[in-house]
Amino acid sequence: MRAVIAFGVAILPLVIGITWKPPEKATDFSLYQIYPRSYKDNDGDGIGDLRGVIQRLDHFAETNVQAIWLSPILRSPMVDFGYDISNFREIEPIFGTMKDFEDLLKAAHDRNLSVLLDFVPNHTSVEHEWFQKSLQGIPPYDNYYTWHPGRMENGTRKPPNNWVSVYNGPAWTWRDERQAYYLHQFTVQQPDLNYHNPNVRREMEDILRFWLDKGVDGFRIDAMTFIYEDQRFLDEPLSGQTDDPNSYYYTEKIYTSDQQSNYDILPTWRQVLDKYKQPKYMVVEPFGNTEKTMKYYYYGIDFPFNLDLITNLTVHSTAADIKHIVDTWYNISLEGGTPNWVAGNHDRNRLIKRMGEPRARAVTTFVLLLPGATITYYGEEIGMTEGYISWEDTVDPLGCTSNKAQYQSVSRDPARTPFQWNNSVSAGFSSNSHTWLPVNSNYKTLNLADEKKDNNSYYALYEKLSKLKKSPHFKRGNLVTKVLDEYVFAFARETEKHGSVYAITNFGDKDSTVDLSVFDNIPSKLDVYYASTISNILSWESVVQVRRVTIPAASVVILTTPNANFVTG
Ligand SMILES: *[C@@H]1O[C@H](CO)[C@@H](O)[C@H](O)[C@H]1NC(C)=O
Ligand SMILES: *[C@@H]1O[C@H](CO)[C@@H](O)[C@H](O)[C@H]1NC(C)=O
Ligand SMILES: *[C@@H]1O[C@H](CO)[C@@H](O)[C@H](O)[C@H]1NC(C)=O
Ligand SMILES: *[C@@H]1O[C@H](CO)[C@@H](O)[C@H](O)[C@H]1NC(C)=O
Ligand SMILES: *[C@@H]1O[C@H](CO)[C@@H](O)[C@H](O)[C@H]1NC(C)=O
Ligand SMILES: *[C@@H]1O[C@H](CO)[C@@H](O)[C@H](O)[C@H]1NC(C)=O
Ligand SMILES: CC(=O)N[C@H]1CO[C@H](CO)[C@@H](O)[C@@H]1O
Ligand SMILES: [Ca+2]
Ligand SMILES: [Ca+2]
């Protein structure tokens, strides 16, 4: 009896602290990735911080964002900008204090915004206390990481096998202190945790609980593909793609990637989340192919990120290619899964760099208007482009371990430059004219404040699409897709009473005239809701005849049933 009362008292403050009811599942979520170093700097040191995020939370109200995911904000020597954590229970001082984080959580919840943390389970920093103790062989930490004596070849000690790290070079590093090699699938400073050790699994569950108890709404799980490795430590077969044994692409990842145990551990984390009254979300970062990614849906998570709009879509994609990607991911909803659409993250070239501005607008239309969860990488809503970063200014470990001639092809810095808020000093990101990465020089014209005044800006598109996404009238998950021409792909979202919306994209280099009457029950005339290319073919506020609609090259056109009012009904 006493225990029951104590339990009731303990959970009461958590329940009272939250006034709104987030959705049970992340279905139709709009999730925004904040890269905290680059979102907003409050204290003027040139690096973004948590107080900066608090200042800019209202940015999300206008565009119907329901959840933010913060890239890692925990204590870190910042070798991999936070993905190398030295203490899983402390906020990194560059970003602020625990009080700042608690204030951020409260300020977000006051706005009905959910907050997801980046959970980095695969590895710690070498500076983590566990690793320091493991190095000295102190129990129980001695087996928290994967240590191996290596193999002797003709009297010379060699790493246990040919495994290569994601950041190139051997995945094994020798330490004299332990007289052994440790495994690191990422940088030398990111030793892999040993998930075959039940103590490690328990520690990581405790860390989840620590943040859930604080009130976070869930986690985005980093580098899921790399958690477990085969314990026989055999050589991986050669891929044949390169002769360079230090290249990540040298081997086929049959022992270091996508092991079945990576899937099996997820339901154990789900159980931890399900102990809480409020809905908690869990989304996963995959790395492999579509099939292996899809498999995550069956292991208790909300969704694995769909990276196909990044990896499979190109400026040359045909309408059939696009339809295949869209149908593949949409089909998961037939089994109760949540499709999701991602156009970028801090590891990839920005959308506009990959696709060019005109086609990027079409991709943004997919991301916001297809059924399921929308994921926005900070800056995508204003169409941020990549900044030029000189060799001297390069800080990304992938860039730095390259050389002056080649760093530009591998460095991730250009996709991580500060958010462009306005046309003042450092684009309104910082009061400091010197920022951790230089602000993109195009900020005088490409910035949120100016885009809000321009009906044809990228932000205007993002806002218009966000309004549509929010419409309560779309039939749940409803979608019809069509190939109308070699490069013209179209889809329809229907409602019960308010007609339909049709998005038509032309990825080709030539205008194309198509017949939309292939869609069942389409009216003979439609209103133009949006056209990315304003020309004499289509202009704002015009009406089109569905049997002959000309879609300009490299553009997107969004049409609606006449006088439809999707947003307010
Ligand atoms: C948050 O949600 C609650 C309940 O769902 C609602 O009453 C309140 O107005 C919302 N607050 C904001 C800022 O939208
Ligand atoms: C070991 O040495 C022998 C004799 O010098 C040589 O034939 C063999 O290739 C060497 N093996 C390796 C793995 O280097
Ligand atoms: C992505 O491309 C790969 C390789 O071409 C292909 O096997 C896969 O089916 C594609 N995925 C989708 C969703 O179209
Ligand atoms: C999607 O599901 C439909 C209906 O089951 C099926 O006909 C179609 O082939 C599937 N498409 C893809 C790309 O999986
Ligand atoms: C730009 O943003 C900064 C930071 O909020 C602000 O101090 C400055 O006044 C803004 N400049 C303009 C022109 O709005
Ligand atoms: C932008 O569109 C709105 C609504 O259609 C219109 O009232 C306004 O005049 C337009 N502004 C500009 C600068 O074109
Ligand atoms: C997209 C993403 O989160 N990438 C991260 C994956 O994990 C490695 C190691 O933690 C990071 O370096 C990447 O930035
Ligand atoms: Ca700062
Ligand atoms: Ca691992």
Strand, coil or helix: 79: coil
pLDDT band at 474 (very low <50, low <70, confident <90, very high): confident
Cβ–ligand 1 distance for 57 under 6 Å, the answer no
Active site residue 222: yes
- H helices of 143-249, where? 198-214
Closest-CA residue, ligand 7 atom 7, reads 223
pLDDT band at 569 (very low <50, low <70, confident <90, very high): very low
Ligand 9: centre distance to CA 68 (Å): 27
Active site residue 92: no
DSSP state, 83? S
**Could you give the C-alpha distances from 153 to 20, 156, 160, 161, in angstroms and in order?**
63, 5, 10, 12
Instruction: Supply 309's token pair.
Output: 């709009």
- φ, ψ of residue 417 to 5 degrees: the values are -75, 160
Is the distance from CB of 67 to CB of 81 less than 8 angstroms?
A: no
Q: What does the radius of gyration of the chain's CA atoms come to, in whole angstroms? A: 25
pLDDT value at residue 1: 32
For position 527, which CATH number holds? 2.60.40.1180
Mean pLDDT of the chain: 93
Cβ–ligand 1 distance for 133 under 6 Å, the answer no
**Could you give the C-alpha distances from 447 to 43, 413, 426, 433, 464, in angstroms and in order?**
21, 19, 11, 17, 18
pLDDT value at residue 279: 96
Ligand 9: centre distance to CA 270 (Å): 20
Tell me if 253 is assigned to some domain: no
Cβ–ligand 1 distance for 290 under 6 Å, the answer no
The whole-angstrom separation of Cα 122 and Cα 426 is 35
Q: How many other CB atoms sit within 10 Å of the CB of residue 499?
A: 21
Domain range for residue 506? 478-560
Give the dihedral sign, CA 466/472/476/478. negative
Cβ–ligand 4 distance for 111 under 6 Å, the answer no
The C-alpha torsion from 444 through 446 and 451 to 453, rounded to 10°, is 30
Closest CA to 279 of 114, 101, 108, 34: 114
Is the distance from CB of 448 to CB of 421 less than 8 angstroms?
A: yes
Tell me if 513 is assigned to some domain: yes
> For residue 153, which atom of ligand 2 is closest to its CA?
13
Instruction: Supply 535's token pair.
Output: 């020309």
Higher pLDDT, 387 or 271: 271
Q: Which candidate in 92, 236, 258, 285 is catalytic?
A: 285
Is the distance from CB of 475 to CB of 522 less than 8 angstroms?
A: no
pLDDT band at 543 (very low <50, low <70, confident <90, very high): confident
pLDDT value at residue 564: 80
Closest-CA residue, ligand 2 atom 7, reads 154
344-397 pLDDT per residue, tens: 999 999 999 999 999 999 999 999 999 999 999 999 999 999 999 999 999 999
Number of domain units in the chain: 1
- H helices of 275-374, where? 290-294, 308-311, 319-331, 351-355, 357-369
- Res 566 pLDDT > 80: no
Tell me if 287 is assigned to some domain: no
Tell me if 519 is assigned to some domain: yes
Cβ–ligand 1 distance for 178 under 6 Å, the answer no
Cβ–ligand 3 distance for 290 under 6 Å, the answer yes
* Type and span of the H or E element at 152: strand 151-153
pLDDT value at residue 475: 78
Alpha carbons within 13 angstroms on the beta-carbon side of residue 127 total 14
- φ, ψ of residue 397 to 5 degrees: the values are -55, -35
> For residue 84, which atom of ligand 7 is closest to its CA?
10
Give the dihedral sign, CA 536/540/546/551. positive
pLDDT value at residue 563: 80
Ligand 1: centre distance to CA 112 (Å): 6
**Could you give the C-alpha distances from 87 to 126, 142, 260, 270, 335, in angstroms and in order?**
11, 18, 28, 23, 39
Tell me if 399 is assigned to some domain: no
Q: At what angle do helices 198-214 and 98-110 cross, to 10 degrees?
A: 60
Tell me if 136 is assigned to some domain: no
Tell me if 97 is assigned to some domain: no
Give 335: exposed, middle or buried? Use CB within 10 Å, 0-12, 13-18, 19+: exposed
pLDDT value at residue 201: 98
> What's the rounded mean pLDDT across residues 331-340?
94
Give 351: exposed, middle or buried? Use CB within 10 Å, 0-12, 13-18, 19+: buried
- Res 495 pLDDT > 80: yes
Strand, coil or helix: 374: strand
Tell me if 242 is assigned to some domain: no
The whole-angstrom separation of Cα 556 and Cα 534 is 11
Is the distance from CB of 321 to CB of 356 less than 8 angstroms?
A: no
- Res 10 pLDDT > 60: no
